[in-house]
């Protein structure tokens, strides 16, 4: 299994958050009252690597989220 470089998760999350901001501005401009959402799908847990990816993603989100938004940060785990 190939491991991602340490900064790749942050780059992807930063790009997603920027796109969310753009979407929120577009909705606001059109007068639509919608909160833009970022959905992150993590790999199924098969080894400790997936646990480390999840921990890095959560750490990045908490670091880059305003205090009010931290209260709204939700993690949902779905199994198939």
- Residue in 34, 35, 39, 36 with CA at minimum distance from that of residue 13: 39
pTM score: 0.65
Tens of pLDDT along the chain (80 residues) come to: 344 455 788 888 888 888 988 998 999 999 999 888 888 887 777 788 778 888 888 888 877 776 555 566 666 656 54
Spatial separation of the C-alpha atoms in residues 42 and 49, rounded to whole Å: 11
Phi-psi region of 28 (alpha: psi -120 to 50; beta: other; left: phi over 0): alpha
d(CA 76, CA 38): 13
CA 53 to chain centre: 12
- Domain boundaries along the sequence of the chain: 8-72
């Amino acid at each position: 299994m190939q491991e991602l470089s340490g900064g790749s998760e942050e780059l992807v999350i930063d790009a997603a958050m920027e796109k969310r901001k753009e979407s929120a501005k577009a909705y606001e401009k059109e007068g639509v009252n919608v909160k833009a959402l970022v959905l992150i799908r993590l790999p199924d847990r098969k080894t400790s690597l997936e646990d480390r990816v999840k921990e890095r993603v959560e750490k990045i989100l908490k670091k880059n989220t305003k205090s009010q938004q931290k209260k709204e940060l939700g993690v949902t785990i779905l199994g198939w």
